[in-house]
Structure 1
Amino acid sequence: MLTGFLSVLQLSDSAFPSGRYTLSSGLETLAQTGRLATPGDPALLSALLGDHLRLAVAPSDGIGLVCAHRATATPDSLDLELVTSADERLTAVKLSREARETSTRTGRALLRVATSTFGARAVSHYARHVQSGRSPGNHAVVLGVVSACLGVPRPESVAGELFAFSANWVAAAVRLAVTDHSTAQAVLHEVRPVMAEAALHVVDKDVPDIASCTPLLDVMAMLHEESELRLFAS
């Protein structure tokens, strides 16, 4: 449905008030340690973003979103056990403190906006569950519930999340002066097939499949926690 497509656009818009613009997902530390040239090599940036999507974002946040979406049968019906299981598993695979904290902070921000704006009972039910401390409230899991309530099909929901991450990632690269706006758009264009393939690969996965394997980026995130000068929250 066209309304579902429009909801994807709204939820993935950088202007949506969830605070994701404060995240660089380890990119800031990569730049600080000299691992990224200035200006950034488009091929290197595309390869780095592509690996991040395939090995981290899609198999962790993507599958968490899928499980939460599957658990939301209707805007009034929610399988809390499945959602919480996915939420807890997603927290467990986020190895750095910053990754865990920023995921739940943006998730709770999304919950606040969704409960006051969209009015779905399933979202409100989950918001109370998170507020009571019975579930972490990771952004991707919240997004899965919200997307299902808004009638967004599962593949489009995952693709929207991967695009939102990618758009924020290249915007961070521009703010860090490792690339320019034109190159950032070229990188986004280049990784479209990776986004599509990754989204379709995880759309039928379940909670035990939630995983992440990006050792370098995990180390960069851990180093970022101790950096004296930080532009981004992660």
Structure 2
Amino acid sequence: MHTENNNVSHTSISIEDLSFLQLSDSFFPTGLYTTSNGLEHLFYNKNRKLSYGEILDFINAYLVQQIGPTDCCVIGNVYDCLQKKDFASLLDLDNTYYFMRLVDETRSASTRSGIQFLRCVSTFVRENENLTFYSKSIKDGLAKGVFPVSYAIGCNSMNLTKERSGLMLLYGFVVSVIGAALRLGILQHFEGQMMINELKPVMLSTVLKNIKQPADEMWQFIPQLDIIQMHHEQMDSKMFIT
């Protein structure tokens, strides 16, 4: 009699693992592929080709100085608000994050991507109290629909941990910038994969450092990159939204 040798326990994988793959896949329609986060401006205003190291430093600065201490911090606090049913603090987080984005273009991109993400998740996650509340708050003008809040609520509705949610958001950001670099002809595909691999320790440490920080310790400080974003906003012709 043939006995199948199955070394993988059924309890070692779950629906949540598939949800993790689904939301982290670039196929999921968040609109991040339309953003370069100012890389396009640098590309057109440098009198030489951007180097691999410069792009790596560009992404690293965003992760450590902005995405980590703001977006990851927001995600962790959204999860805490949902656990406590503290919807007032949830709306405060939404508005605080919105006004921390200094460039109008980035604020608009965050709300567009956030609302798009929320709509997509709502098509297959039905009758979820948190999704319903936040969607209604956006319609009523009480919330902006910023991306990290929408993302956290969507991930929570699919039973993903706050740590995994933060990791997916950072990974999605990295892939969006590297994808922009590929389309601009700055990087080749193999170089893009090398860069993702090189940034893995930074993504992991950034999430672990910021995901449990209280909301009143949220911060960002990347003035040079903010200026780049402002210049990108004023470009007459551009391929990317930001």
TM-score range, shorter chain: over 0.9
What is the aligned-residue identity percentage? 25
> How far 1:216 moved relative to its partner?
1.3
> How far 1:228 moved relative to its partner?
0.8
CA distance in 2, matches of 1:166, 1:228: 26
Contact 2:117 2:150 in 1 (8 A): yes
From 32, 36, 40, the counterpart of 2:44? 32
From 154, 157, 160, the counterpart of 1:149? 157
1:219 aligned to 2:227? yes
> 1:85 is matched with which residue?
92
> 1:50 is matched with which residue?
60
Kindly provide the CA deviation profile for residues 106-159 of structure 1, in whole angstroms up to 9, marking residues without a partner as x: 111111112222112211111001111101110111111111121111111101
From 96, 102, 113, the counterpart of 2:103? 96
Aligned residues: 229
1:140 aligned to 2:145? no
Q: How does 1:202-213 map to 2 (within 5 A)?
A: 202-213=210-221
Where in structure 1 do 4 or more consecutive aligned residues deviate above 2 Å?
A: 1-6, 40-44
> 1:23 is matched with which residue?
35
Distance 1:3 1:209, change over 3 A: farther
1:14 aligned to 2:21? no
> How far 1:203 moved relative to its partner?
1.4
Q: Please, which moves more after superposition, 192-201 or 129-138? A: 129-138
Q: Secondary structure at the match of 2:176?
A: helix
The normalised TM-score by structure 2 is 0.90
Contact 1:63 1:202 in 2 (8 A): yes
> 1:198 is matched with which residue?
206
From 106, 120, 135, the counterpart of 2:113? 106
Unaligned runs of 5+ in 2: 1-12
The normalised TM-score by structure 1 is 0.93
Q: Please, which moves more after superposition, 26-35 or 145-154? A: 26-35
Unaligned runs of 5+ in 1: none
CA distance in 2, matches of 1:63, 1:3: 26
> How far 1:78 moved relative to its partner?
4.0
Q: Secondary structure at the match of 1:72?
A: helix
Contact 1:110 1:143 in 2 (8 A): yes
Contact 1:107 1:142 in 2 (8 A): yes
